[in-house]
């Protein structure tokens, strides 16, 4: 797993979580008098989210789930002795009720068995009045988490810009690394590294972009910091599916190059024309993202895509020659490897065409 630098919003969420946890502990001690109100910071932690809209939704569902877990544990704590079997049954039963009967979302349903275990560990068999205090602690913690998010809302706009820029840089970096690597003989180890990088981009960076951009226009209506930028957030929201497909195509190219290296016995000869095509494609990806972020003009995108098409034409001629080579070796022992490599080469060009199609679409206004 490659490490990626955190965005300012991600850092802010960590700080808000610590603030909410501390405030909820203090408020719970003040209101209920419980010496160690661990459920208050637990509830505050799970309700502090990036956007205000998400905080309200999650606060309601997770508070319900946590309170359910508290009552479930307190009701059974005095009557059932704990053992490995009992703990397993408690977790399965509480999760089943939350997810299968009440149909809570998976992330909310998971809080019920977590609350059961936390209560059993932190509270044990306590009096009913103390159990009610623990339930109040939970509500206080959830309320503090929501208030912190309302008072200190994270800017969806800043997070969207940063994660979008990081996604574009990640895709461009992988394509550029593959393109430069193809100028020289390249090994299976290199191709495996390219594939790992592409998988990180496709998985982690895309997920982070989806989380930060998400339903940006709707979330901005709940955030006083972003209401003036609804149109810009909408533009990012419309662009994101195209970039997701670009990340998928980049990962497919990396996987094909890894197959090339394996077919060659571990080291593949240079493929300079394909390499220059991927370098040009990397520039086009970066230019498209920079255009969306208003860091460059649409003219640069047009020029970068024109360069990709020029390199693509040269690769098409190479593909024809590879196809002819496969036919000429129809009776040779190397025919299977040659044919598979030609099919892989054609597959790379198909992915390039799909990426260019997504990049060529105008950035939404």
Q: CA–CA separation, 258 vs 174, rounded Å?
A: 14
Long-range contacts of 161-164 (CB under 8 A, 24+ apart): 161/236, 161/293, 162/7, 162/8, 162/9, 162/212, 163/7, 163/205, 163/208, 163/209, 163/211, 163/212, 163/213, 164/209, 164/213, 164/236, 164/239, 164/240, 164/243, 164/289, 164/292, 164/293
268 φ, ψ (degrees, to nearest 5): -110, 145
Residue 164 makes CB contacts below 8 A (sequence gap 6+) with 209, 213, 236, 239, 240, 243, 289, 292, 293
Which pLDDT belongs to residue 1? 45
How far, in Å, are 151, 186, 273, 340 from residue 270 at the CA level?
A: 57, 7, 9, 17
Which pLDDT belongs to residue 148? 87
Q: CA–CA separation, 50 vs 125, rounded Å?
A: 36
| pLDDT 10s digits, 279-335 | 999 999 999 999 988 877 788 999 999 999 999 988 887 666 665 655 555 555 555
Grouping H, G, I as helix, E, B as strand and the rest as coil, residue 268 is strand
In the predicted model, residues of the chain with pLDDT beneath 50 are 1, 125-129
Residue 305 makes CB contacts below 8 A (sequence gap 6+) with 284, 356, 359, 360
Which pLDDT belongs to residue 267? 87
Which pLDDT belongs to residue 125? 44
Which pLDDT belongs to residue 217? 65
Alpha helices (H) along the chain: 8-32, 39-47, 52-77, 84-96, 106-109, 111-122, 128-151, 156-181, 188-200, 206-213, 216-220, 230-263, 272-292, 298-328, 335-360
End-to-end CA distance of the chain: 35
How far, in Å, are 269, 319, 326, 360 from residue 333 at the CA level?
A: 19, 21, 11, 42
Please give the radius of gyration of the chain, using alpha carbons only, rounded to the nearest integer: 27
Report domain extents, the chain.
Answer: 8-151, 156-360
Which pLDDT belongs to residue 196? 93
Kindly report the pTM of this predicted structure: 0.69
Which pLDDT belongs to residue 4? 67
Q: CA–CA separation, 298 vs 26, rounded Å?
A: 54
CATH architecture of 156-360: Up-down Bundle (1.20)
Which pLDDT belongs to residue 310? 92
How far, in Å, are 109, 242, 355, 357 from residue 361 at the CA level?
A: 41, 9, 10, 7
């Amino acid at each position: 797993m490659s490490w990626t630098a955190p965005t300012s919003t991600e850092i802010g969420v960590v700080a808000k979580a610590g603030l909410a946890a501390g405030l909820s502990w203090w408020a719970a001690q003040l209101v209920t008098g419980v010496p160690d109100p661990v459920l208050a910071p637990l509830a505050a932690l799970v309700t502090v989210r990036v956007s205000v809209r998400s905080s309200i939704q999650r606060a309601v569902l997770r508070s319900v789930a946590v309170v359910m877990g508290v009552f479930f544990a307190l009701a059974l704590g005095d009557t059932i002795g704990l053992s490995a079997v009992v703990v397993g049954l408690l977790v399965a039963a509480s999760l089943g009720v939350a997810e299968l009967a009440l149909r809570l979302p998976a992330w909310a349903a998971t809080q019920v068995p977590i609350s059961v275990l936390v209560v059993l560990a932190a509270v044990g068999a306590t009096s009913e009045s103390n159990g009610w205090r623990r339930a109040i602690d939970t509500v206080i913690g959830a309320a503090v988490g929501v208030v912190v998010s309302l008072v200190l809302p994270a800017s969806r706009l800043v997070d969207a810009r940063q994660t979008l820029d990081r996604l574009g840089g990640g895709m461009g970096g992988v394509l550029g690394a593959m393109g430069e690597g193809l100028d020289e003989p390249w090994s299976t180890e290199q191709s495996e590294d390219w594939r790992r990088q592409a998988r990180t981009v496709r998985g982690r960076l895309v997920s982070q972009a989806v989380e930060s951009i998400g339903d940006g226009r709707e979330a901005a209506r709940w955030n006083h910091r972003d209401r003036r930028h609804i149109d810009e957030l909408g533009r990012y929201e419309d662009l994101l599916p195209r970039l997701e497909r670009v990340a998928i195509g980049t990962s497919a190219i990396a996987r094909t190059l890894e197959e090339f290296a394996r077919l060659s016995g571990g080291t593949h000869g240079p493929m300079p024309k394909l390499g220059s095509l991927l370098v040009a494609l990397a520039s086009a990806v970066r230019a498209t993202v920079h255009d969306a972020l208003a860091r460059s003009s649409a003219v640069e995108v047009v020029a970068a895509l024109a360069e990709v098409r020029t390199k693509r034409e040269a690769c098409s001629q190479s593909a024809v020659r590879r196809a002819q080579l496969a036919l000429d070796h129809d009776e040779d022992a190397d025919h299977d490897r040659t044919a598979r490599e030609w099919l892989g080469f054609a597959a790379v060009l198909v992915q390039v065409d799909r990426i260019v199609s997504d990049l060529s679409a105008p950035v939404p206004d």
